[in-house]
Amino acid sequence: MSVFWRSTRAERRSLVVRLALVLAVTGTVGACGVSATSGWHDGDPPGHGVRKDTTIDAPHGPLYPADVKMLVAVAQAGLWEAPASEDVARRSTNPKVRAVAAQLAEEHHVLHKNNIAAADRLQVQLPQAPTPQQRGWRDEIRAASGDELDRVYVNLTRAAHGSVYMAIAAVRSTTENDVVRSSAAIAEDYVSRHMALLESTGLATSDALAVHSGTDARYQALPAPVDLVLGIVLLVAVGAGTLLVVRVGSRTRPEEAVEDEETEEGAWT
């Protein structure tokens, strides 16, 4: 501490500036780390305000955003998984995969009709097409053949089923709407059975089984390339900015430095 006070005023000012910048950068990087590693979620756990965004007072009970999202997710899942399963049931040379795909295709049509009926009762508009990502999965399956077709189909559909299953289960356990609860219970039964059927082929890999909560994307152990590049750019920008500010903050006019030194010497003498 005595060394600090014996230094010139300019040196003390420079040290304080450096310390403040280090703390600021540390806080910024820490915040970025939390943001990059946090899972996607719609809200807090039950009992922590998850119910505050009520949008519809439905005749069968309050209808929350999560309820509507579940109906939409089930609809979009059926819009791509049913035709993809029909395609695999026709083209696969693996008897087990062909039988599983045929059953999934048939049951997805039944589940889709039930989901539409529930949405009609609640006056919820459902999408008429799958998401761009889901269309990409369907096209990937259509482009495959032979053993690759079986592997791609099983892993893509198993990962997608695992993702939507978590959304269904969450709504099934928390919804206050009778129609949504009944629809979620039916969907949960179908999707759970479909996961078991896909796993029974023996082709489901760990990537298909380790699905991140709240997303219909396949599990990624490493950050996506875009996220990785953005992270590197951010770190470079923060580092360059920090270096520039430190250099500017540490500079003093020659006469000011001399004046500070003379003042300090006079104080000590």
Mean pLDDT of the chain: 75
Give 31: exposed, middle or buried? Use CB within 10 Å, 0-12, 13-18, 19+.
exposed
Gyration radius from the chain CA atoms: 29
63 φ/ψ angles, rounded to the nearest 5 degrees: -115, 115
pLDDT tens digit sequence for 121-132: 999 999 999 999
Whole-angstrom distance, CA of residue 180 vs CA of residue 120: 11
Q: What pLDDT was estimated at residue 217? A: 40
Report whether pLDDT(35) > 50: no
pLDDT tens digit sequence for 201-257: 999 887 666 654 444 443 333 455 655 566 677 777 766 666 666 565 555 555 554
| Residue 265 to residues 9, 23, 258, Cα–Cα distance (Å) | 11, 32, 10
Give 62's pLDDT tier (boundaries 50, 70, 90): confident
Q: What pLDDT was estimated at residue 178? A: 94
62-209 topology per CATH: Ferritin (1.20.1260)
Nearest to 122 by CA among 76, 78, 65: 65
